[in-house]
Amino acid sequence: MSHFTLATQLAPEEYRILDAIEISMRKFEWVPLKNILFYANLEHERVNFWLDKVHKKGLIIRHSGKPEGYVLNSMGYDLLATHALAEQDIVVSIGNSLGVGKESDVFQGIGPTGEWLALKFHRIGRTSFRAIKNKRDYVVGKFHTSWLYICRVSATREADHLKQLNGIGADVPVLRGHNRHVVVMKQYNGQEIQEFPTLDDPRGIFEQVIRNVKKIYHEAKLIHSDLCEYNIIYTDDKKVIIIDWPQAVSTDHPNAAMLLRRDIENVCKFFGRHGVNVDPEAIVVEITGT
């Protein structure tokens, strides 16, 4: 049974406890009881009762050493986000896993109109949280940064980029909603291009990708900065969808030229294995005009 079924079974007081811990994790490695008492706005004995409830359901971690305190785990954070998405009438149900990556989990969902959705749960730092803290530009200089904060910022960045790219008509997932570390998108029937042993029209697919890179560069002033065969979907109706946008950077980023060149080289290398022989540098010049 998926842990998402718990989202409809928790009492309002349990969500208040989870909310109180979430708020305080911005400042504390282990959230003290006094903070939970303050933000949950419940009587002391009731807080202890509901804390015990969510702990037994596996939604928080209790630290009995020094300092004493509590933190959310990923399941507790998932339920806060999916509960909010349900209350916002963005998602009515969540189903099977669609994929697991290094920094995200994707689940199938259904929207209020019956539309199939893809819910992307950001799991930044799953393999090495310390390394992520050291290299992500939006956490540099912070004394205490929780995994929760980094995942939330990553998802917000991706949602903002998708909204911008939807606005110019780029071939990227259509954004349906966002809450905390979860980005909700329209689901597409297709596969990553690296999963196809052969491509029916490699030149045409390649040109679709480059056309999008150029459009996004000029109209949205963005560079994907991690473009490769693992984040290009080829749909059943012969359309390219470029996914994974949290790390996109502006064209005025100090490393913009290097990142664009790397994206183009990655794409050219992959399609070169399918008989599309092109000069990456010439494409970079065509896109940038320099």
3 three-class SS: helix
The number of angstroms, rounded, from the C-alpha of 82 to the middle of its chain's C-alpha atoms is 14
Tokens of 204: 């045409």
List the chain domain ranges.
3-75, 90-186, 190-288
For 252, residues 6+ apart whose C-beta sits below 8 A from its C-beta are 221
**Cα–Cα distance for residue pair 85/90, rounded to 1 Å:** 5
Tell the CATH topology of 3-75. Arc Repressor Mutant, subunit A (1.10.10)
pLDDT value, residue 2: 65
> 206-253: per-residue pLDDT in tens?
999 999 999 999 999 999 999 999 999 999 999 999 999 999 999 999
pLDDT value, residue 131: 45
Contact predicate 159/178, CB 8 Å: yes
Output the pTM of the full model: 0.90
Domain 90-186 has CATH 3.40.50.720: no
Catalytic residue among 52, 78, 200, 226: 226
> 252-278: per-residue pLDDT in tens?
999 999 999 999 999 999 999 999 999
Q: With 70 as the cut, is the pLDDT of residue 280 above it? A: yes
**CATH number for the domain whose boundaries are 190-288:** 1.10.510.10
Question: What percent of the chain clears pLDDT 90, i.e. is strictly above it?
Answer: 83
- Residue 113, judged by CB atoms within 10 A of its CB (0-12, 13-18, 19+), counts as exposed
Residue 127 pLDDT grade (very low, low, confident, very high; cuts 50, 70, 90) = low
- Does residue 226 carry a catalytic annotation? yes
Residue 141 pLDDT grade (very low, low, confident, very high; cuts 50, 70, 90) = very low
Pick left, alpha or beta for residue 13 (phi over 0 → left; psi -120 to 50 → alpha; otherwise beta): alpha
Q: What is the mean pLDDT of residues 89-98?
A: 95
CA distances from 189 to 201, 233, 260 (A): 18, 9, 28
